[in-house]
Structure formats: structure tokens, C-alpha cells
Chains A and B, each alone.
Chain A
Amino acid sequence: MENVTTAEQIAHAEHGHEEHTLSFLQSYVFSQDHKVIGIQYAITAMLFLLFGFSLMMVMRWNLAFPGAPIPVIGNFLGQANAPGGIMLPEFYNQLGAMHGTIMVFLGVVPLAVGGFGNFVLPLQIGAPDMAFPKLNMFSYWAFFLGGVVMLASFFAPGGAANSGWTSYAPLSVIATQGQTWWLVGMVFLITSSLLGAINFIVTTIQLRAPGLGFMRLPFFVWAQLVTAFLLLLAFPPLEAAAVLQLMDRLAGTSFFMPAGLVTTAGVPLEYSGGGSPLLWQHLFWFLAHPEVYVLILPAMGIVAEIIANNTRRPLWGYGAMVGSLVFLGFMSFVVWAHHMFMTGMGTTMSAFFQTTTMIISIPSVVILSALFISLYGGSIRYPVSMLFALAFLPMFGIGGLTGLPLGLSAPDLHFHDTYYVIGHFHYVVAPGTILALFAGIYHWYPKATGRVMNELLGRIHFWGSFIAMNVVFMPMFIIGLAGVNRRLYDGGMQYAHAQDVIGWNVVSSYGAWTLGFFQIFFIFNFFWSIRHGKQVDDNPWKATTLEWQAPSPPPHGNFTTPPEARRGPYEYSVPGASTDFTMQGQASGPDPEPAKV
């Protein structure tokens, strides 16, 4: 009976006896409080990010020094994977596939959506919690289970999935058992995302504080709302695809297997045939292109909040930004086949998809430009969060602009599957999204703990990470322009055309290890500041949005008095106001302006 009780019942049960204390399990493990769940998501996701990054640090050794035994770590990888500490190509493929999967599905999305969305969104809209707290808990645990299955797949016979994070058929259909684990893990992760998306949408639409109209929502909330719609509608086709691939692998069907394509020793494998490997690519990218925007939109939301706060001016062009965001969401569903120019789907389709791809770059540029213009004429403060947010702008710019040649089918002939692609999307996701996520952590840390993170350590972390990330990814453009394929386990040393550029692999690898080193400052700072950070009041950044009206850390139910929004989200430096910020819920002060539209 407990299992199906809704929020209402829980709320009723808890209402009226607030002093009733929850057990440790209820309040920290199986918590239904959005803040605890948000922190659970964030910490789990950060651990996965660290793990996924560690895989890459190991891989980068083999790219920089192919065939040399990996120092120290090489001894722990197992004789089957790295005899004598020298990585086998099969193992490299496993690490590559799992790096991509973990970073996207277990790291960035859970941190950006599950972590920040859960913690910040209900506070920003003045809600006591998410609309369905129990469902929220299930989302987290489904995500956790999915993560466990993914990690466990390393111990499956034949190791983890090794067909890349895209799991292209037919390779993935005939791959070792790890691929089955990958698919099962994905089903859990997809379920988690779907439940989470429903929760976010219902919360945003239904639980907004009185007076908080849609055009008064902070940009971050808009970003999360659009993201939730993308997750809700784009993920199911991948779930369908995962089911079909599971059938191919377990029941011997041929959804993605044409007859006679794959042979062992000249004999075709036993598949009834009639399947289409392209079908997998279509279904996969139907999700995975919107997924790209799932990775970037929350980051844009975080950056917009921090920039408005630290420039002490309203966001420039809030209405245009919201419009662009919604348009981006729509368009992200009609660009997927630009990942497939090389499949021979025909020039008509290529023309269509390259046109839509060029169109989708417009709203991204609108948002980025609006953020840049927001800086103009502000008297900017530079806390650590602002440094990260500012770094996001040019980094996302580089990532976006280098994507344009890839979106045109003619240059894509050359760039497809080269390191150029890796450089491009890492600039969007790593120096882009991940820097924005760091910005968010420094920005909202005082809301979660009541203390700020150490400023000096933060600055070291910022400059180290910012420089190292560019050292990692900039050489990839050079290597990629020379035409070196992205999936070579030795960095391309057998290829004549790669000889002039593979030296850059060493630079890139040193960059990666340096990047790893500078994360130590962050990890230390993160834990140390929980007890030893400087204590601050509820609104240390003098911000306007509703979450800063709640106590730090917010109690169960969030607000001491139910908040009400009386003005737009970014009323900074309002002429005639006594302070340079006017909070959304503030009753006194100048006459509330109409919401910025």
C-alpha cells in the first residue's frame, strides 16, 4: 500500500507533526525531498564523471605512447585486458564505448538535469517540492541501478560494451555479452529520465508560485522545461531501439541484420535477414540529437542565471532567449540525420538535413549573443562561478562554430569520424557544459550548505581546468583536419597521413592528465567547505530569484512563508531602488514593473 501512495498522502501524513523525525534511511537514502534527491543525483553523477574521465586518462596513455606499458595503473587492469601493462585494442574499445556512455548518460545529464534541475528548479519557482516526490525517488534509484549495471558490465565475459557509445548495428549485435548489459542499463536510464521529465514538466506547469507567470520564469527554469520535453519525447524511440537490439541479440531476430552481411570463416551467420542497420542509426540519432541539446540547454540556463547576477543587470533580450530556446527544442527533432551523411541516404535527404542544421544554429547564436550583450555596460563581479560562466561563452562558441562544417554534407565527407568531430563536440560538452556545471556548483553551493566554497582553491581549479581543457581539445582539430580517424587505439601510427600530426596526441594527453590534477583542488574544496567554508546568509550573491529567499539550507518544504512573485526574475539595478537588486518576492521597493516579455 505504501508503494502507491501519492504525494498528497505523504504530505498529509507529515502535515501537522513537523517535529516527527525521519530515520537515516528515509532522510538520506530513500529520501523524497527534492533537495536531497538533487544532491544524491549530483554526487553520483560527479563520481561517474570522475570515473568516465579516468577511463579517458588511461586511454590517452595509449594514444600518446602506443605499445608502451601503462605505468602503475597498467598492473591493475588485468592480464586479459592489458598483458604486461600494454593495453589491448579490444580493451581500448571497451574504454572508449564506456567513456562516452558514462559521460553522457551517467555524468552530464544526471548532473545537469537530475542534480541542478531537482535542487534548483522547485526553489526557483517557489514550490515546496516536486509534484511527485515518490516518483522522483524512483527516478534516482532507476538511474542508480542503470549505473550499477553499466559498471558491472566490465566484469561480464568479454568485458564491457565495445561498439562505441552509439552502439551501431551490425557490430553491436554480434558484440560480446557486455553489449546486452549496456542495453539493459540503458533501459533503466531511459526509464529514469522519462519519469524525471514528467516530474519536471508537471512541477513547472503546476507548482509555480502565485504571480510567477511563464514570462517571469528564470531562464534556468525555461531551459529545464524545454530539456524535459526533449527527454520525454526523444527518449522513447531509443527505448524502442534498445528493445529491438535486445531481441536481435537474445532472440535471434534480424531487425538490424541484413542477410549474409556478417560471416564467420566465410559462412554467413544465422540471421533470417531483412533487417536494416540504418534503422538503428535513425532511431539512435532521433534520440541522440535532441540529447545534445539536453546536454547544453541546462548549461545555458545556469550561465544565464550567473551572468545576470554578476553583471548586476537584467539579461539582455530575455524574451528572444526564451523564444530561441523553444525553437531550439523543436528544431532539435528534425536534424538527426546530419549524423548520417556518410550512410548514402541520398542527396535530397542530405540537403534537407543540412538546411535544418543551419537553421538550428540561429537560435543557439541568438542565445549566445544575448549572453554576450548582457555583459556590455555591467559592473561585473568576478566570483569563481562567474569565471566559469564567462569561460563557457567562448568555449561554447568554438564548439558551435566548428560544428557548422560538420553540418554541411560536403565538408562532412572529409571530417566524418575524424578527431575533428571529437574536438567539436567536446568543446560543446566539456569546456562548454562541464565548465557551466562547475559554475553552477560554485553558485548554488551556499544554498545547499549555508557556506561558500573556498575562493582561492576555486580560482586555481578554474584556471587549471580552463587552460588544460583547451590543451586537450585544441590539438584534436589539428589531428582531425589531417584526416585521422577517431577510433584508432594507437592514435593512427600505422597511417602515413597521420605521421605529421600524431605528435599532438602527446600534448593532448598531458593536457588530460593536467586537467585531472586540477580536479583535486575541486574535490578537496567541495568536501572541505561543507564544514570549513565561510558561513554566509541566505542570499550571499545578492540575487533576485526566489531560491535565494529560502533559508540556506532550505528546510523540508523549502520556504518559511509561501513565496509570491511580484516582478520579473532579473530586476537588477532598478532606477530608484534602494539596493541594486530587487528580489522577485520582495513586497516593498519600487512599483513592480510588468514582467519582461
Chain B
Amino acid sequence: MSGSIEEVKKHVAAYQKVGVTLLVLTGVTVAASYLPTAVPLAIVIALIIATTKGSLVASIFMHLRNERKAIYWALAMTVLFWVFLMFLPLLGQLDHIGVPKTLSNANAPAMHADEEH
């Protein structure tokens, strides 16, 4: 991120390449959505493409590729807590109320029934 003219010019070339890549990837993700894939696979494909695009924007346009340590630290922390935040849906799924559950000993003979005989 130094200010020398040559470097900025190099950056400009990179910006344009990345821009074209982003547009192409947008086309790819739309095209992929028309493929007759199962929903889970479609989600994976779309998210992979979106993450690739997002990383390109973050690393090239936002210069994260070459940034100071303090900012990496702040963002690493954010990502960590963001991951915690993504636990939310998981917690929603682990709600067992209303889900019938068979106990592991359900079919075992009752002890006191034996004793009575």
C-alpha cells in the first residue's frame, strides 16, 4: 500500500482483473442456479462462489491482502464472534421439545416384574 506511482498502477490493473472476475462469477452463480441440482448442493455451490467473490473484494478492493496487524487482530476477533453467532441456528435445531424419543432401556424387561414371579 505504498504510494509509489508504479505500485498504484499495478494495483489498478489488479482492480480491473478482479472486477471482470467478479462479473464472470456472478454469471456463473446464476447459471449454476439453473442446473437441476439438489437444494443442499445448490446452497454449497452458491456459497462457495459468494465466498470467493467476497474474499476477492475484501483482499483486493479493501486491501486486506496487505494490511496492518492491528486490523487483522480486530477482524480475527470479529470472525471468531461471528462464528459464535452462527451457532444460533444450530441451537434452534437442538430444541428437542415435541420430538418423540425412545429411551435406550425402553424394551428391557421391568425388574420388579421378574421379582413378582
- A interacts with B: yes
Q: Select which of A234, A278, A330 is within 8 A of B95 by beta carbon.
A: A278
**A278 with B94, Cβ < 8 A, contacts A205-B70, A237-B85, A286-B85 known:** no
A348–B94 touching, CB < 8 Å: yes
Chain A CB within 8 A of B34 CB: no
A346–B96 touching, CB < 8 Å: yes
Contacts of A349 in B (CB 8 A): 91, 94
Q: Which residue of the partner chain A has the closest CB to B96?
A: A346
Q: Per-residue 0/1 for B48-63: is the Cβ within 8 Å of any A Cβ (1 yes, 0 no)?
A: 0000000000000000
Q: A171 to B78, alpha carbons, bound, how many Å?
A: 32
Q: Select which of A229, A283, A345 is within 8 A of B94 by beta carbon.
A: A345
Interface of A is mostly: helix
Q: Select which of A201, A282, A333, A346 is within 8 A of B81 by beta carbon.
A: A333
Chain A CB within 8 A of B28 CB: no
A-B contact pairs, 10 of them (CB 8 A): A233-B81, A282-B92, A283-B88, A286-B88, A333-B84, A334-B84, A337-B91, A344-B96, A345-B91, A346-B94
B81 to chain A, nearest CB (A): 5
Chain A CB within 8 A of B23 CB: no
Chain B CB within 8 A of A276 CB: yes
Q: How large is the interface on A (under 10, 10 to 19, 20 to 34, 35 or more residues)?
A: 20 to 34
B108 to chain A, nearest CB (A): 21
Chain A CB within 8 A of B77 CB: yes
Name A's B-contacting residues (CB within 8 A): 201, 205, 229, 233-234, 237, 276, 278-279, 282-283, 286, 330, 333-334, 337, 343-346, 348-349
Q: Which residue of the partner chain A has the closest CB to B88?
A: A282
Contacts of A286 in B (CB 8 A): 84-85, 88
Q: A343 to B97, alpha carbons, bound, how many Å?
A: 9
**A346 with B85, Cβ < 8 A, contacts A205-B70, A233-B77 known:** no
Not counting A278-B92, A330-B80, A337-B91, a sample of 5 additional A-B residue pairs whose C-beta atoms are within 8 angstroms of each other reads: A201-B74, A279-B88, A286-B85, A286-B88, A349-B91
Closest 7 CB pairs of A and B: A344-B97, A346-B94, A346-B96, A282-B88, A233-B81, A333-B84, A349-B94
Contacts of A282 in B (CB 8 A): 88, 91-92
Contacts of B74 in A (CB 8 A): 201
Q: A330 to B73, alpha carbons, bound, how many Å?
A: 13
Q: A229 to B97, alpha carbons, bound, how many Å?
A: 36
Q: Which residue of the partner chain A has the closest CB to B84?
A: A333
Q: Which residue of the partner chain A has the closest CB to B78?
A: A233
Contacts of B77 in A (CB 8 A): 229, 233
Contacts of B80 in A (CB 8 A): 330
Q: Which residue of the partner chain B has the closest CB to A334?
A: B84
Q: A269 to B70, alpha carbons, bound, how many Å?
A: 51
Q: Which of B70, B78, B81 has the most CB of A within 10 A?
A: B81
Q: Which residue of the partner chain A has the closest CB to B82?
A: A233
Q: Which residue of the partner chain B has the closest CB to A340?
A: B91
Q: A251 to B96, alpha carbons, bound, how many Å?
A: 31
Q: Which residue of the partner chain B has the closest CB to A348?
A: B94
B95–A346 touching, CB < 8 Å: yes
Chain B residues 58 to 117 lying within 8 A of chain A, measured CB to CB, are: 70, 74, 77-78, 80-81, 84-85, 88, 91-92, 94-97
Contacts of B96 in A (CB 8 A): 344, 346
B75 to chain A, nearest CB (A): 11
Contacts of B84 in A (CB 8 A): 286, 333-334
Q: Which residue of the partner chain A has the closest CB to B87?
A: A334
Q: A343 to B95, alpha carbons, bound, how many Å?
A: 8
Q: A237 to B87, alpha carbons, bound, how many Å?
A: 13
Contacts of B94 in A (CB 8 A): 345-346, 348-349
Q: Which of B78, B88, B91, B95 has the most CB of A within 10 A?
A: B91
Q: A345 to B94, alpha carbons, bound, how many Å?
A: 6
Contacts of A334 in B (CB 8 A): 84
Q: Which residue of the partner chain B has the closest CB to A329?
A: B77
B95 to chain A, nearest CB (A): 5
Contacts of B95 in A (CB 8 A): 278, 343-346
Q: Which residue of the partner chain B has the closest CB to A350?
A: B94
A199 to chain B, nearest CB (A): 14
Q: A229 to B78, alpha carbons, bound, how many Å?
A: 9
Q: A60 to B70, alpha carbons, bound, how many Å?
A: 50
Q: A283 to B84, alpha carbons, bound, how many Å?
A: 11
A205 to chain B, nearest CB (A): 6
Contacts of B92 in A (CB 8 A): 276, 278-279, 282
A441 to chain B, nearest CB (A): 32
Contacts of A237 in B (CB 8 A): 85
Contacts of A348 in B (CB 8 A): 94
Q: A348 to B93, alpha carbons, bound, how many Å?
A: 12
Q: A337 to B87, alpha carbons, bound, how many Å?
A: 11
Q: Which residue of the partner chain B has the closest CB to A349?
A: B94
Contacts of A346 in B (CB 8 A): 94-96
Q: A237 to B97, alpha carbons, bound, how many Å?
A: 26
Q: A205 to B69, alpha carbons, bound, how many Å?
A: 12
A558 to chain B, nearest CB (A): 24
Q: A278 to B97, alpha carbons, bound, how many Å?
A: 12
Contacts of A333 in B (CB 8 A): 81, 84
Q: A344 to B99, alpha carbons, bound, how many Å?
A: 11
Contacts of A330 in B (CB 8 A): 80
Q: A531 to B96, alpha carbons, bound, how many Å?
A: 64
A54 to chain B, nearest CB (A): 37
Contacts of B88 in A (CB 8 A): 279, 282-283, 286
Q: A333 to B78, alpha carbons, bound, how many Å?
A: 11
Q: Which residue of the partner chain A has the closest CB to B70?
A: A205
B46 to chain A, nearest CB (A): 22
Q: A443 to B97, alpha carbons, bound, how many Å?
A: 53
B58 to chain A, nearest CB (A): 18
Q: A279 to B87, alpha carbons, bound, how many Å?
A: 12
Contacts of A344 in B (CB 8 A): 95-97
Contacts of A276 in B (CB 8 A): 92
B2 to chain A, nearest CB (A): 21
Q: A454 to B70, alpha carbons, bound, how many Å?
A: 45
Q: A286 to B74, alpha carbons, bound, how many Å?
A: 19
Contacts of A233 in B (CB 8 A): 77-78, 81
A341 to chain B, nearest CB (A): 12
Contacts of B81 in A (CB 8 A): 233-234, 333
B98 to chain A, nearest CB (A): 9
A331 to chain B, nearest CB (A): 11
Q: A345 to B99, alpha carbons, bound, how many Å?
A: 12
Q: A276 to B91, alpha carbons, bound, how many Å?
A: 12
